[in-house]
Amino acid sequence: MGPEGSSITSSSGSSSSCSAAARAPDHHHHHQIDQLLAGAGYSVRSSQLHQVAHRLECLESVMVHNQNIPTHLPLQYHLANDVVHYNPSDLSSWVDNLLSELHQLQPGSSASSSGLPPCPGNYESTGWSPSEFHAPPPPRNGNGNESENQQPQEALSHVLHQMDQEDSSIQLVHVLISCAESVQCGNLPLAGSLIADLQALLTRVNTACGIGKVAGYFIDALSRRIFTAVPPGAASFMSCWASEDEILYHHFYEAAPYLKFAHFTANQAILEAFQGHDCVHVVDFNLMQGLQWPALIQALALRPGGPPLLRLTGIGPPSPDGRDSLCVIGLRLAGLARSVNVKFAFRGVAASRLEDVKPWMLEADPNEAVAVNSILQLHKLLGPDQVHGSSSVEQVLAWIRGLNPKIVTIVEQEASHNQAEFLDRFTEALYYYSTMFDSLEACSNRADNVLAEIYMQKEICNIVCCEDSARVERHEPLAKWKARLKGAGFKPLYLGSNAFKQASMLLTLFSAEGFCIEESEGCLTLGWHSRPLIAASAWQPVSD
C-alpha cells in the first residue's frame, strides 16, 4: 500500500505567476476519498475521478443531443421527475444511476438490469458490464445525413456505445492498477482473480491498438509475476530472450525514430568534440550491431583537413555460441572505414555486465581524444549491488572520468521506472509504454512493428516481473541523471543548435506526425505528442 497521509494538496502559492492549472496529483492516494470534494459534500475516490468526469461528459452529451429534438420531452424533465435519486453524495453512483435511466429509455434494452456487475473479491466496481446492455451498433446512414437528422434513439445509442468502449478502456486501466497494487501488498490470490477480470475486459476492447494492445502486454507481465514458480530475483527469469536480442534490437531500430535519434545526436556531438584531433577513440558501451558507427565514420571521412585515426572499442555481452560476434562487427566496420580511407582500429571487450568492465581493458592512450558513448546502458548500473561501499554507477562514472574523455554522450529513456514502490513503477511504465506503442503504431512499417513491440515487451517484463539485480531496466529521468553526473564531477556540454536542427530534419523523414524534439538546457529530447520519451545529453569532466 502507498503511505497513508493527506489527500491531494498544494502548497500555499507564493509564485508570482498565477495559474488555475492543476497541481500534480499524488500517485499514492488512488483509493482514498478526494478530500477537497469531501469538503464540498461529495464522496468520490481519487481513482474514480476520471471515470466520474467521463460519465458527466456523456450525460451532458446525451442531454445536448436530446435538446435538438423538439418532439420529445426534455430529458431533464424525465430525470427530474420520473427518476428516483439515491444518495447525491455518492456522486459516482448518482451519475451512473442517471445514465442507466437514460439507457433504459432506449428501445430494446434489457429493462431488468441495473448496470452493476457483481463485485469480485475486494474490488469495488462502479462500472457497468456492457454485455448486459445490448446496445445496437452505431447507425449506418446510407444517404449521408448529418447526425442531427438521426432518430433520437439512434443518436442516444451511438453515444452510449462509444461510451461503452471508452468505459471498458478506463476500467482496464483502473483494474490493471488495482492488480498491481494487490501485487505490491502481497495479496496474490486477489491479484490472480483480477487477472481473470482483466482477461475478460480485454475481450471488450480493441486489442489491435491503443490501450487495449499495451494493456495486453502488462497483463501478460503481471501474470508471469503472479503465477510463475520462479522467484522474481532469479537471473534466469529472462534468459529465454538473450539470443534473440540482436534481432529485436534491429527491428526496434528500423520501426521508430528513437534509436536513430539517439545515434544521430550522439554522433553530431562526438564529431564536434573531435574537431582538431588527429587520434580519436570512441568507447561504445553497447556495440550491438554497430549501427551507430557507419555514419560517424563517413562524417569523419568528409572532415575538412582529412579524417583522424579512429579507434573504436565496442563493449558487448559474450556470444552464447562461442562466436566472437564483437569481432565480426568490428571487421565489417573496418571494411567500411577502409572504403572511405579512414584509418581504423577496432577492439572488442566482452563483458556480460557493464560493471565488469575495467578501464585498463580499454587501453586508452593519453594522446588521443576519447569519446564515451552510452546509449540506453547507464540505467542498468542502478541496481542494488555495491562494491567497497560505492554503487556500480558511481564506480563506472569514476573510471569514465579517469579516462579524461573529450565528451561523454548519454542517451536514456525519459521515464521514472526506478521508484521504490512497485505500484509507482508499474503505473509510470503503463503510461510510458502506452505512449511508446502509440508512436510505434503511427510509424507505418508493419513488418518491423511486431518485433519492435516484443523488444519493448522485454523491457516491460523486466520492470514488472523482476527485482533486485535481475531488474536492469531502471530508467530514470534526465533531471536525475543531470544531478548524478554533476555529482560525479561532470559538467554539461551543450548540444548545439546544429544538433537540434539536424534532429528535427531527421524527424521529417518519418511519415508519422506527432514526434517532437525539444531542447532544454543543452539536452535534446524526442517525444510523442509532448510526452518526452528519450533524452540525449553530452558531458565532459570538470577540470580539477
Which span (7-15, 106-114, 196-204, 490-498) binds other proteins, by CB under 8 A? 7-15
Measured on CA atoms in the order 138, 142, 147, 153, is the torsion positive or negative?
negative
CB 109 within 8 A of CB 155: no
Which CA distances in Å does 481 have to 249, 383, 488? 24, 15, 10
Under the binding rule (CB under 8 A), the answer on residue 73 touching other proteins is: no
Q: Which of 119, 217, 205 is nearest to 162 (CA)?
A: 205
Position among 2, 26, 27, 61 found at the interface with other proteins (CB under 8 A): 61
Q: Which residue in 1, 73, 80, 196 binds other proteins (CB under 8 A)?
A: 80
Binding residue for other proteins, selected from 2, 26, 27, 63, defined by CB under 8 A: 63
Shortest reach from residue 85's CB to other proteins, in Å: 7
The SS3 of residue 532 is strand
Residue 267 near residue 536, CB atoms below 8 Å? no
**Residue 20 binds other proteins (CB under 8 A):** yes
Among the listed ranges 16-24, 129-137, 491-499, 517-525, the one in contact with other proteins (CB under 8 A) is: 16-24
* Residue (of 400, 218, 243) closest to 321 by Cα position: 243
Between 60 and 518, CB nearer to other proteins: 60
C-beta closer to other proteins: residue 78 or 224:
78
* Closest to other proteins by CB, 52 or 270: 52
Contact between 82 and other proteins by CB under 8 A: the answer reads no
- Asked whether the beta carbons of 241 and 247 are under 8 A apart, the reply is no
The answer to the question of residue 39 lying near other proteins (CB under 8 A) is yes
Binding residue for other proteins, selected from 21, 111, 208, 240, defined by CB under 8 A? 21
Report the amino acid identity of residue 181.
Answer: E
Instruction: Tell whether residue 84 is a contact of other proteins (CB under 8 A).
Output: no
Host H or E run for residue 62: helix 49-67
Q: Where are the alpha helices (DSSP H) in 411-495?
A: 422-442, 446-465, 478-487
Q: Does 33 bind other proteins (CB under 8 A)?
A: no
Confirm or reject binding of residue 291 to other proteins (CB under 8 A): no
Q: Which stretch binds other proteins (CB under 8 A): 89-97, 240-248, 260-268, 434-442?
A: 89-97
Residue 37 within binding range of other proteins, rule CB under 8 A: yes
User: Applying CB under 8 A, which of residues 2, 28, 31, 79 lies at the interface with other proteins?
Assistant: 79
Q: Is residue 529 a contact residue for other proteins (CB under 8 A)?
A: no
Q: What share of the chain is helix, strand, coil (3-state, %, to 5)?
A: 50, 15, 35
HSE, side-chain direction, 13 A CA sphere, residue 122: 11
Q: Which is nearer to other proteins, 76 or 469 (CB)?
A: 76
The answer to whether 183 and 225 are in contact (CB under 8 A) is: yes
- Which residue type occupies 212? G
Q: Which one, 77 or 431, has the nearer CB to other proteins?
A: 77
| Rounded Cα gap, residues 471 and 237, in angstroms | 10
User: CB of residue 5 vs other proteins: minimum separation in angstroms?
Assistant: 16
CA angle 473/475/478 to nearest 5° reads 160
Candidates 38-46, 121-129, 336-344, 394-402; binding stretch for other proteins (CB under 8 A): 38-46
DSSP-assigned letter for residue 318 = P
Between 45 and 471, CB nearer to other proteins = 45
* Cβ nearer to other proteins, comparing 14 with 236: 14
Q: Which amino acid is at 301?
A: A
| Cα 532 to Cα 402: distance, rounded to the nearest angstrom | 32
Q: Which CB atom, from 58 or from 194, has the smaller least distance to other proteins?
A: 58
Contact 415, 402 (CB under 8 A): no
d(CA 68, CA 61): 12
Q: Does 236 bind other proteins (CB under 8 A)?
A: no
The distance of closest approach from Cβ of residue 74 to other proteins in the complex, given in angstroms and rounded to an integer, is 8
Residues 41-60 that bind other proteins (CB under 8 A): 41-42, 44, 49-50, 52-53, 56-57, 59-60
Single out the residue of 76, 141, 149, 520 in contact with other proteins (rule: CB under 8 A). Answer: 76
> In which region does residue 438 sit, left (phi positive, over 0), alpha (psi from -120 to 50) or beta (all else)?
alpha
Cell numbers for 439: 508512436
* Binding residues vs other proteins (CB under 8 A): 8, 10, 12-13, 15, 17-23, 25, 34, 36-37, 39-42, 44, 49-50, 52-53, 56-57, 59-61, 63-64, 74, 76-77, 79-80, 85, 88-89, 91, 95
